[in-house]
Amino acid sequence: MLKAAEAIREVVANAIVTEVRDPRVRDVTVIGVEVSPDMREAKVKVSVMGDETQKNLSLRGLQNSAGFLQSKIANRMDTRYTPKLRFEVDRGQEHAMTVSEILARIQQEKEGAMDDRDQNDSGEDATPHSND
């Protein structure tokens, strides 16, 4: 099953880059493939750069190219069934980027707080007292 999933991922990824001519399919990366136990269906997880509109367009373009991609898989794999492809956007990359941004912001705030504390400790921001 894992070998089949990896073979499907390779075929689909290469075909998207080199052979799919649909202009809607842009900036697509195949992340992984999950194959059903009976090998009749394969869920292809993709990452698409761009906004939601671009993601939806790319998904529609991929779904329209599914028959072509299935024929590529049939040529490569010798199995009883050629799995029916279903595409879905893998949000893992987006979530990872969001977490990275949040962590970077926290780090900046932490460093800013440390700088403020260092300045107060050194007396740079201390206000002189006058004895009137």
Q: Is 116 a member of any domain?
A: no
| 15-19, 43-47, 66-70, 80-84, range with the lowest pLDDT | 80-84
pLDDT in tens, 76-101: 988 888 999 999 999 887 788 889 99
Number of domains in the chain: 1
Q: Is 112 a member of any domain?
A: no
Asked whether 77 and 10 are in contact (CB, 8 A), the reply is: no
Taking 70 as the threshold, does the pLDDT of residue 2 lie above it? yes
What Rg value do the Cα atoms of the chain yield, rounded? 26
Mean pLDDT on 32-47: 95
Report the C-alpha gap between 64 and 107 in whole angstroms: 44
CATH number of the domain where residue 41 is located: 3.30.300.20
Report the C-alpha gap between 113 and 79 in whole angstroms: 61
Residue that has been written with the tokens 């590529």 in this structure: 72
pLDDT of residue 130: 52
Mean pLDDT on 36-47: 94
Q: Is 64 a member of any domain?
A: yes
Q: Is 130 a member of any domain?
A: no
Q: Is 5 a member of any domain?
A: yes
| End-to-end C-alpha distance for the chain, whole angstroms | 86
Q: Is 131 a member of any domain?
A: no
Nearest Cα neighbor of 47 from 68, 62, 69, 65 is 62
Mean pLDDT on 106-132: 69
Q: Is 128 a member of any domain?
A: no
Q: Which domain holds residue 63?
A: 1-93
Taking 70 as the threshold, does the pLDDT of residue 122 lie above it? no
The reported pTM is 0.72
Q: Is 124 a member of any domain?
A: no
